[in-house]
A and B are shown apart, each in its own frame.
Chain A
Amino acid sequence: MRRRGFLRGLAAAPVASTLAAPAIAQAAARVVVVGGGFAGATCARRLAAAGIATTLVEPATSYLACPFSNLVVAGMRDLEEQRFGFDGLRAAGVAVAAQAASVIDPLARRVALTDGIVLAYDRLVLAPGVEIRLDALPGYDAAATEAMPHAWRAGPQTTLLRAQLEAMDDGGVVAMSIPANPYRCPPGPYERASLVAHYLSTRKPRSRLLLLDAKDGFSKQRLFEKAWRELYPGIVEWVPLSRGGRVIEVQARERVLVAEFERHRVDVANVIPPQRAAPIAREAGVADRSGWCPVDPATFESRLQPGIHVIGDAAVMGAMPKSAFAANAQAKACAEVIAALLAGRAPAEPRLINTCYSLVAPGTGISVAGVYRPAANGLLAEIPGSGGTSPLDAPPEDRRLEASHAEAWFAAIAAETYG
């Protein structure tokens, strides 16, 4: 409650009709970070460690992480293992405001929270993540998510999809609708397909898994397809865009997915709809017509609103995918940039790394990695010769080791971000 007093006393003032806060707010926390996922929490923590007064704005009292949540879907992991609280951030000196940001005034450099408190900032970091669009695929609205879960944000949707798989009879058809790029976690749908196929092959072996895809190619494709052939023969069928894979309408009550050339009536449907930056990004004026947030790749500062940095899944990061690893790496680089700017120094050019592990079966892992720097086209570009996927012919020992590394990575990023 002491920190609450600190917030109210120093960083805060009630909202008037506009965000014209009294002078006391000028002495507020200098950096406000909106969003407590891997991007926002990491950035807030790094800023506080650098001695910068930092407030993290996050309405949830804990964060449910997406990496490894495909194991929850497939019945091999408990959802609670995905949950992380913010006590570690508080202990590291971050002021945590358990509110949502409701209004952002980029000119006055103020954020209003839903409880009426106004925070002034010198630099604002937006890490709001994605909005799961319920207006983009005809028939897929809020009610439809109960019949056809997306499970693309860890939580009740994850356990709902798992329950539907468990309730399905052997011999059933499971279908996934997979969106066009860009979306959160490019290899995620295919890892999910692998682990669901593993569940079906061991528990309901007469069942089938139909992948209806709005793309003709995907991350780690050859590795996934090899695993499906070898581990789950006759179970997984991938239908790409060019063969009518794009789902153009859903009929949730009938469990029908309408693809371009065919209607599929299925027993369990996992619909991963198109996405865009979360609504607060539009409110702040940092999202463009694409729905995502263009940023300067050297500073992560918005191309549309000075003083606001956007990191993680909501931002346009060029060649860098929307992943937890990428979000964490961008967050640390962004904290270094902000520390330099506030100290009147020129920020160093960031060098970023991404690594995405996927499990094709329990204990069998593959990865894709990349090293990135700002390029002349104004985006992050992969450094030629770096990165790529695990070899197609890697020995089984390396596949086992990559599964161990995946677990070790998750423990590491969770400790660095929330521990």
Chain B
Amino acid sequence: MEGRPHRRPSAARPGAAAARLLAAALWCCVPGAAFASGDAEAPPGASACTGCHVPAVRATSIPPIHGRPAEELAAALRGYRSGERHGTLMDRIAKGFSVEELDALAAFFAKPAP
């Protein structure tokens, strides 16, 4: 449980101990609290992609990318970068990354969403 708050013991007030227990329980229950180290492995730009491509939002004109095959994502991104693939927007975004960076993003999003 990396990053869990360290709490110094204190006898300042009777309710504090109970509150401390409650707080510990709350932080233990946070979904995804343990994937902080996973975030550190996210390649450059990955966190910006989810401004549009959010796993929870489906059935819109923006296609989902989480959990799609890495080869498929990499081919699409490389195509946008080279101009071989037509996009309304992704062609302009992909040109801000090297081919290697795009492949790393493809591999990252191919993993199931947390």
Q: Are B33 and A51 in contact (CB under 8 A)?
A: yes
Q: Which residues of A contact B61 (CB under 8 A)?
A: 401, 404-405, 407-408
Q: Which of B8, B19, B93 contacts A369 (CB 8 A)?
A: B93
In chain A, positions 336-353 with a C-beta closer than 8 Å to chain B are: 336, 339-340, 342-343, 345, 348-353
CA distance A23 to B16 in the complex (A): 13
Size of interface on B: residues with Cβ below 8 Å to A: 54
CA distance A253 to B62 in the complex (A): 47
Q: Are A371 and B51 in contact (CB under 8 A)?
A: no
A385 contacts B by Cβ under 8 Å: yes
* A370/B12 contact (C-beta < 8 A), A51-B4, A336-B42, A416-B50 known: no
A239 contacts B by Cβ under 8 Å: no
Tell me which of A49, A349, A372 has the highest count of chain B C-beta atoms within 10 A of its own C-beta. Answer: A49
CA distance A369 to B23 in the complex (A): 42
CA distance A387 to B52 in the complex (A): 16
In chain A, positions 32-62 with a C-beta closer than 8 Å to chain B are: 46, 48-53
In chain B, positions 10-29 with a C-beta closer than 8 Å to chain A are: 10, 12-13, 15-16, 18-20, 22-23, 26-27, 29
Q: Which residues of A contact B92 (CB under 8 A)?
A: 369-370, 386-388
Q: Are B16 and A353 in contact (CB under 8 A)?
A: no
Q: Which residues of A contact B62 (CB under 8 A)?
A: 405, 408-409, 412
Q: Enumerate chain A interface residues (CB-CB to B < 8 A).
A: 2-3, 5-6, 8-10, 22-24, 26-27, 29-30, 46, 48-53, 92-93, 325, 328-329, 332-333, 336, 339-340, 342-343, 345, 348-353, 355, 367, 369-372, 382-383, 385-388, 390, 394, 398, 401-402, 404-405, 407-409, 411-413, 415-416, 419
Q: Enumerate chain B interface residues (CB-CB to A < 8 A).
A: 1-8, 10, 12-13, 15-16, 18-20, 22-23, 26-27, 29-36, 39-40, 42, 44-45, 47-54, 56-57, 60-62, 88-89, 92-93, 95-97, 101
